[in-house]
Amino acid sequence: MENFTLPAEWAVQQAVQLTWPHAQTDWAPRLAQVQSVFAQIGAEISRRQELWVAVHDHDSHEHCLQALERAGATLDRCRLFRVPSNDSWVRDHGPILLKNDLGQRRILDFAFNAWGLKYRADLDNQVTRHLHGQGAYGNLPLATVGMVLEGGSIDCDGAGTLLTTSSCLLSPNRNPHWSREEITGQLCHLLGVERVFWLESGYLEGDDTDAHIDTLARFCSQDVIAYQSCDDPYDSHFAPLQQMAAELAGFPRADGSPYHLVPLPWPAARFDEEGNRLPLSYANFLIINGAVLLPTYEDPADALAISRLASVFPDRQIVPIPCLELARQHGSLHCVTMQIPA
């Protein structure tokens, strides 16, 4: 890809992109509550960089502007674009931007099939192309890629190493015609990385993405990985997350030394009205310019999660965002955002 590579999330950003929840989405029963969470996320972003929002229609445009204003957003940094959508998980249907050493950028628009054909995705799969057509990305070149890939399924250190999970990328409803070796080759070729670490263990009950990496383990720098731990031996997650931690400990840095691993605390189990467990993860944080937006869950472990991330990101403000409303739809904060590198 002509020396283009996927930047780390902590690299300087131009913007963060959202897809606004609307009444034709699964958010409808609690739309006001979830729009308030989106507005809080958007307001924090707009205080530090640009905020780009895809809004479904005229009504969504008005609701979005009003919610952002109520949340105290810096409105002159907010850009709204009218684009129809099925849902709001822009981490997975949004653009993936690459950069080269000259500072040039290009956009990859991977195929999105709603986490292996689980839901309708015909509109979401066109959001990036619609935004590009409206000039949201200026004159950046866009390449449409036939490979099915969600942004939440990969995490990169910006120096050639990518982290992912086999349960997601090898699931039969994404790219069934490719082997692990062929998918590794595609990731290296398309994203400009040199190494792909595949996690075999780790999952969250209630997650319908087949174990996205951004709910489990995240690069915080080129030598630090924060991961979702579980210290309750009676919890169903204990063994798989312990095994995941052991796998992470076995991954070498480029120079052969081990990564510094930072365990994130385990929140107590929470359930929806039907008794389904919510997939709560502190690993689903978003790094932006000068801050880290951390999902919180009205749990005593919130404070420890804030402290752990503050030790990892001493030069960034840790901003807690209550995200139980997002968890009701099986995701969290990182899942509803996509950063645009500067």
The residues annotated with a catalytic role in the active site are: 335
SS3 280: coil
What does residue 198 show for φ and ψ, rounded to 5 degrees?
-105, 120
What is d(CA 289, CA 99) in angstroms, rounded to the nearest whole number? 17
Strands 105-111, 291-296: pairing is unpaired
Q: Is the separation of the CB atoms in 1 and 188 below 8 Å?
A: no
What is d(CA 211, CA 140) in angstroms, rounded to the nearest whole number? 31
Query: 181: which residues sit within 8 A by CB, 6+ positions away?
Result: none
What is d(CA 246, CA 237) in angstroms, rounded to the nearest whole number? 14
Cα angle value 66/71/74 (rounded, 5°): 85
Phi/psi region, residue 270 (left: phi>0; alpha: psi -120 to 50; beta: rest), is beta
CA distances from 338 to 19, 151, 200, 267, 320 (A): 9, 8, 25, 25, 18
Give the type of residue at 55: V
For residue 154, the surrounding DSSP H or E stretch is none
Q: Is the separation of the CB atoms in 27 and 37 below 8 Å?
A: no
What is d(CA 325, CA 92) in angstroms, rounded to the nearest whole number? 19
Give the type of residue at 2: E
Q: Give the 3-state secondary structure of 205-228.
A: CCCCCCCCHHHCEEEEECCEEEEE
